[in-house]
Amino acid sequence: MTIDATFWVAISFLIFIGALIYFKIPGKVITVLNESILAIKNQVDSAEKLKEESKNILSEYEQKLSNSKAEIKSMIDQATEEAEKHVLKTNEEFHIQMENRKKNTEDRIKQMKNEAIKDIKNTSVKIAMQSVESLLKNSLDKNKLNKIFTSSIEETKSALKRKSS
């Protein structure tokens, strides 16, 4: 029988397998693989827990965000309402102020008109008295003139006092 290289490779393979079994290498490999599988399962479980926690946190923040949006909308609505009230109040105050100014101006105009009428009356009385005086000076003698002048002045004074009262 001729022993070739294939025979010796088969024999060395069987010895190698026998040595592996003798030293319990397949059991150790299985143990290492099981430990690796268990570690990977633990990591997957941990990742799933983290995923659930992150979903919960995400939903909480989304709820907080929607609550914040509602609160912001409420604040904006309230600020808009207050601004409109302020504008209306300011507008009303402006109109009241303008009405008061208009009334004050009208009162001043009436007062100035009354003063002007009074000044015109006083001036016309003075002019009339001066005219009467000059007419009387030219047409009467001094004694008669003084009597007429004095009486007309007294009458004018008393008439003006009656009108002023």
Average pLDDT score over residue span 152-158: 79
- Distances from the Cα of 56 to the Cαs of 42, 59, 63, 70, 151, in angstroms? 21, 5, 11, 21, 114
Q: 88-126 pLDDT, tens per residue? A: 999 999 999 999 999 999 999 999 989 888 888 888 788
Residues 6+ apart with CB under 8 A from 140: 148
| Per-residue pLDDT, 31 | 93
Q: 57-79 pLDDT, tens per residue? A: 999 999 999 999 999 999 999 99
Give me 140's structure tokens. Answer: 């009467």
Percentage of the residues of the chain whose pLDDT score is greater than 70: 91
* pLDDT band, very low/low/confident/very high, at 145 (cuts 50, 70, 90): low
Of residues 141 and 84, which shows the higher confidence score? 84
State the total domains in the chain. 1
- Distances from the Cα of 104 to the Cαs of 113, 114, 115, in angstroms? 14, 15, 16
- Distances from the Cα of 109 to the Cαs of 102, 149, 164, in angstroms? 10, 37, 21
Q: 16-28 pLDDT, tens per residue? A: 998 888 888 888 8
**DSSP string over 38-102:** HHHHHHHHHHHHHHHHHHHHHHHHHHHHHHHHHHHHHHHHHHHHHHHHHHHHHHHHHHHHHHHHH
| Enclosing domain of residue 128 | 5-164
The model's pTM is 0.42
